[in-house]
Amino acid sequence: MTPLGGLGEVGRNMTVYEINGKLLIVDCGVLFPEEHQPGVDLILPDISKIEDRLGDIVAVVLTHGHEDHIGAVPYLLKRRENIPLIGSKLTLALVEAKLKEHRIKPVTQVVAEDERLSRGPFDLEFVAVNHSIPDALAVMIRTAAGSVLATGDFKMDQLPLDGRITDLRAFARLGEEGVDLFMTDSTNAEVPGFTPLEKHIGPVLEQVIEKASGKVVVASFSSHVHRVQQVLDAAVQAGRRVVLLGRSMVRNMKIASDLGYLNVPEGVLVDLKKSGDIPDHRIVYMSTGSQGEPMAVLSRMMNQEHQVEIGEGDTVILASSLIPGNENSVFRIINGLMKLGANVVHKGNAKVHVSGHASAGELMYCYNIVRPKNVMPIHGEYRHLIANGKVAIETGVPQNRTIIGENGTVVDLADGVARAVGQLEIDFIYVDGKSVGRVTDDDLRDRRVLAEEGFISVVTVVEPTTAHIVSGPDIHTKGVAEEARVFDSITPKIADALETAMSEGVHDAKQLQQITRRTIGRWVGTKLRRKAMIVPVVVVV
């Protein structure tokens, strides 16, 4: 087993299983960029590690339909389009809609809980688990070398909105059979006790929407079918119509409605184009952007760049958890909306969201039910993996059988023993517009310098044979926040350095550019306390 993403981070989940030269992939998701990755749209698992073995892949199993588990599928299938995709009805419907945008027609197989099938040397059995999206599945992978139970994302909500609980009876049955390696969701492992019930959110949403005097905007993940259902029900009770905003929200909810996962009351949905005639106190906008994504609907509302305007008396509900790394973006959204006069309701001041992940008490139940021989926590930052591992050890899993890995950790399973036996170097694969994998960490470093420190160019025309400066040095700046005259004192020093170098026989343009960069770089660092990007241009005539 080798995770190519999802360990040490919340996103880009992907694990490769190998036996007898054949590969099985479980999940293939994306990670969303943080502020120190400017210009990046998405981050993919390091699928370059299996680029030369695409023909060995027997299938990709998708545990559920969230972007951090399915978002990278198009980029994998662009390398080999006929890799079979296995997943539940809703999961595959969401993937197929995504692939249609990439003009890829996939090979798919719909499965449900309690079903069992084989792909090459892998025998697969699927188990119902409860999560914040319907139709999530855990998968039992049986091979000649041993068995692995991978939970995907799950929790143990005992009163779920759709009545579909995590199948602990199946977990117990598999535990009796023998689970050699248990790979468990770690996201909430630091949280004691049990994750609150989803049904407790409905009454809070109803109360907030009922009391709102102006328009209401509810921001959530575009795949959170249960939350959208609760908003629809609360809107009906308050006598309001609902407008879905955001391309992914509209697409996903249509899929969920068509497949019977979302019950849309007659007449409650209205198109954005027709919503202008409805009074503010009679409408709810259900939008994307709960994580502060700059191009999402909620950010555009905050920047007053959307046709739905937020103002005094309006209510905005952020019905989602903070994904680690998005805190600053979300707080910026909250502050911006409040500045416009909106009442902002979020998880910090009202019970408008519960997590979709098992807390420590639920994990402990699972370990005691399954009684695995070995444990490898997955899906979470390193602190989450550590906390999950501690829960496993508390229930009796030996410490040397509890593997805290990271992306690229190669784990061998043989004779009932799992061992970390190697470490691959895993890179970030950046999607930047239509570019995939071409943007490097050095490029992002340059972008950060440009954003934070500014840009300085120095253009000089020289005649090396006479050690004469024909023109310049001309200094141009962007984002350095200094007046042009500030550079008057360094211009003659650059000219002196160049003339001295040319008189000593330096006639190469690149060497003269390096002298220019060093001269102005030292001065900018000392006088202006900046580390601006410096681009020297020396033209030799």
How many CA atoms does the CB half-sphere of 61 hold within 13 Å? 30
Confirm whether 198-345 and 453-540 share one CATH topology.
Answer: no
223 is in an annotated binding site: yes
CB contact set of 388 (below 8 Å; sequence gap of 6+): 184, 186, 189, 363, 377, 380
**Set 306, 346, 357, 384: catalytic member:** 357
Query: What's the chain's average pLDDT?
Result: 89
185 labelled catalytic = yes
Provide the token pair at 232: 């629809």
Tell me what pLDDT residue 16 has: 97
Residue found by looking up tokens 């962007």 in the block: 478
CA distance 457 to 430: 28
Q: Is the pLDDT of residue 457 over 70?
A: yes
Which long-range contacts link 513-517 to residues 24+ away (Cβ below 8 Å)?
A: 513/537, 513/538, 516/458, 516/460, 516/473
Main-chain phi, psi angles of 140, to 5 degrees: -95, 120
pLDDT digits (tens, 9 = 90+) for 158-189: 999 999 999 999 999 999 999 999 999 999 99
**CATH classification of 198-345, choosing from 3.50.50.60, 3.40.1440.60, 3.10.180.10, 3.40.50.10710?**
3.40.50.10710
pLDDT digits (tens, 9 = 90+) for 268-325: 999 998 888 899 999 999 998 877 776 788 888 998 888 889 999 999 999 887 666 6
Q: Can you give 214-278 as a three-state secondary structure string?
A: CCEEEECCCCCHHHHHHHHHHHHHCCCEEEECCHHHHHHHHHHHHCCCCCCCCCCECCHHHHHHC
Q: Is the pLDDT of residue 376 over 90?
A: yes
355 is in an annotated binding site: yes
**Distance (Å) of CA 479 to CA 320, 482, 517:** 36, 8, 18
pLDDT digits (tens, 9 = 90+) for 83-92: 999 999 999 9
Residue found by looking up tokens 């003269």 in the block: 512
290 is in an annotated binding site: no
Tell me what pLDDT residue 478 has: 77
Query: Which residue intervals of 399-508 are DSSP H helices?
Result: 441-452, 491-503
CA distance 28 to 234: 35
- Domain 2-194+355-436 fold is Metallo-beta-lactamase; Chain A (3.60.15)
Tell me what pLDDT residue 418 has: 96
Residue found by looking up tokens 């995709």 in the block: 85
Query: Which residue intervals of 405-530 are DSSP H helices?
Result: 441-452, 491-503, 509-523
Tell me what pLDDT residue 474 has: 86
41 is in an annotated binding site: yes
**CATH classification of 453-540, choosing from 3.40.1160.10, 2.60.120.650, 3.10.20.580, 3.10.20.30?**
3.10.20.580
Q: What average pLDDT does the segment 34-48 reach?
A: 75
Main-chain phi, psi angles of 9, to 5 degrees: -160, 160
Greater model confidence, 401 or 445: 401
pLDDT digits (tens, 9 = 90+) for 461-501: 988 888 888 888 888 887 775 666 778 778 888 888 888 88
281 is in an annotated binding site: no
pLDDT-derived band of residue 444, with 50, 70 and 90 as boundaries? low
Task: Burial-class residue 241 by CB neighbours within 10 Å (0-12, 13-18, 19+).
Answer: middle
**Set 185, 226, 306, 346: catalytic member:** 185
357 labelled catalytic = yes
Q: What average pLDDT does the segment 453-461 reach?
A: 84
CA distance 18 to 57: 9
Q: Report the run of H or E that residue 138 belongs to, with start and end.
A: strand 137-143
DSSP letter for each residue of 302-341: HTT-SSS---TT-EEEE-SPPPTT-HHHHHHHHHHHHHTT
Every domain of the chain and the residues it spans: 2-194+355-436, 198-345, 453-540
354 is in an annotated binding site: yes
Tell me what pLDDT residue 503 has: 85
417 is in an annotated binding site: no
